[in-house]
Amino acid sequence: MTTTVERKATNVHWHKGDVTREKRAEILGHKGVTLWFTGLSGSGKSTVAVALERALTARGVLSYRLDGDNIRLGINANLGFSAADRQENIRRVGEISRLFADTGIVVLSSFISPYREDREKVRKMHEVGGLPFIEVFVDCPLDEAESRDPKGLYKKARAGEIKGFTGIDDPYEVPTSPELHLHTAEMTLEQEVALIFSTLQERGIIPKD
């Protein structure tokens, strides 16, 4: 098992068990995967993940949401929004996603994850472990996200009350080849959920109806 940071601990060795990923998938009736929702604040990452979680649950598929705000209230409470802290945030949640996906869960990870390199590292850590990883670009023009402003954060950023806000005075690097591209200013939530659902079915991750 590999990691994406230099490991400080020495004399540690991977301990292999004898229950396989395939056996866990057999118990659940579907495979594990990480769906990685990336996009600006207000683009719709959480809204899509919540609706998808509801649809998956209704069909008996075990899913779990990891959401930027929630994770930052707990395990990543010691991280802020500097480039280094965002990088560590994504590294940790990438590792958590990978572990959950390995259990067989459909993981719905919603993080701005503004840096391409950090997202690519998360993709890599899944790929080396033989786990499916689906990057979902939740794409919404900045002016539309700003007009939605569900938490009033753009208003605060424009007023200078929040410094280093993504899209205002902090970067967002758009994905170059995401598996899925949702244009949330043009698509309905139902269309977005249906597209992701059918992708999971076509890839053999969850059963067809």
Ligand X SMILES: Nc1ncnc2c1ncn2[C@@H]1O[C@H](COP(=O)(O)OP(=O)(O)O)[C@@H](O)[C@H]1O
Q: Which residues are catalytic?
A: 113
Report the partner that residue 188 touches, choosing among ligand PPS, ligand X, none (CB closer than 5 to 8 A by kind). ligand X
Interface residue with ligand PPS among 112, 122, 182, 196 (CB under 6 A) is 112
Interface residue with ligand PPS among 86, 98, 121, 126 (CB under 6 A) is 86
Phi, psi for residue 50 in degrees, rounded to 5: -65, -45
Residue 40 annotated in ligand binding: yes
Report the partner that residue 107 touches, choosing among ligand PPS, ligand X, none (CB closer than 5 to 8 A by kind). none
The DSSP line for 13-76 is: -----S--HHHHHHHHTS--EEEEEE--TTSSHHHHHHHHHHHHHHTT--EEEEEHHHHHHTTT
Number of H helices, E strands in the chain: 8, 5
Residue 198 annotated in ligand binding: no
Q: Which of 100, 49, 53, 95 minimizes the C-alpha distance to 76?
A: 95
Kindly state whether residue 51 participates in binding ligand PPS, applying the rule CB under 6 A. Answer: no
Provide the annotated binding site for ATP.
39-46
Give the binding site for ligand PPS (CB under 6 A).
41-42, 45-46, 68-69, 72, 81, 86, 89-90, 111-114, 151, 153, 162, 164-166, 170
